[in-house]
Chain A
Amino acid sequence: MATTEPVGLRASASSGSGQPRTGSPWLSNTPHPCFPPSERPTALKESGLHPLCATEGPVLRELDGLPAFHVWRDALGLPDTVTAEETASWALGVEHNSHGSDWTVLAPYNCDSELDAITFAVDVPEEAHR
């Protein structure tokens, strides 16, 4: 049977293993970014990942310590002048528990180029806050 799993999907992400998920289903051999605070600096340094930063309700202000809209544009390879409408086929997948088993896919409702923030129609899941 052909697999439907995306590139980089961890085998442990499949159900039925009986083992707790210890990493992202998207990146092979990458520690999960949700570490206890006392371990976070070392673990993040080893994994190359950075904590999700400032959110205020539905407004995402920072990713990786950088302005969220800047990171969004850079990740998608879009010009500085892009508008929310022009990103209609793109979305953000937000993991909202430490096991990587629950996700919310959010489409930006508005992108503020002055504040470099992204606004969604609903609040960013609480568990994603750091």
Chain B
Amino acid sequence: MRQTVRYVVKRVTISVLMMVAASVLIFAVLRALPGDPVLARLAGSQGVDQNSIQRLRAEAGLDRPLISQYFSWVTGILHGNLGVSYFSHQPVSTLLAQRIGPTLELTILAVVLSVILALPAAVAAAERPGRWIDRLVTSFAAAGMSFPPFVAGILLILVFSVSLRWLPARGYTPFTSDPVQNLREMVLPAIALAVGAAPLVFRYLKGELITAFDSQYVRTAEGKGASRYQVIVRHALRNAALPSLTMIGLIVGYTLGGSVIVEYAFGISGLGSLSVESAFRRDYAVLQSVVLLVSAMFIVVTLAVDILTSVLDPRTRVHQHG
């Protein structure tokens, strides 16, 4: 027990340090060049006098030293105050709160869909490795992995929205106001992400399953006359699932990254499209916080998966961070 607590404390500390380091990195890159977001925003408009430029810069806090800008951002995060958007003048925390829902929904749907697709495929392939079914599914996986999610998304729109007219090409309706419309809109983007994510799960799960099928306990289970179904579900899958949990952290990362462009392509107003918009407008106040938030989500999921794995399987603690 004490060992578990020590492990959890260590992993949490590392994750917090990672987030702090990520915030420094994001901030440093955005401020590395003397380029000024206020000037960039005013570039189109003419006849702006020096005074109003000074006033806008002061409003955005850009006239203060970099270190002080960084610390006011970080202390603001701890107080839930992320500053205001240079562009819309809305509080950044409000923007993030408005946009996080669709991204969470899309990520969860895509991860669930990937597991649903990968699980039977991995079982079928691992049962008879090298046979035609394994080769077929493995080739599909190799092809799927090469689909950037947004390219898959555009091809899906072409088939299901443009040609067949079954599903809407873009838009987002909150689940709470119209569940059916919400799902109709989320199907294609979720598939677009799963096309690339499912093969990752498949590859890993298949490897684990092949090991399980070759193990003594599966041979014992077969020997005592357990049915094929029981051997697969009760023995092989249960043992293969635990190591594959690590995989979930990885595909959440893949999905969060992929959803940036997928949200843009499907007109879903989530964190991804917010990051694209703010990068376009050089709205650093929004951009730095969105990117940090998404990175933090990824770090937290990885942390949760690691802790869960170690609690469920104490053996993994020995191998961690050698």
A and B pair up: no
Which A residues have a C-beta under 8 Å from some C-beta of B? none
Which B residues have a C-beta under 8 Å from some C-beta of A? none
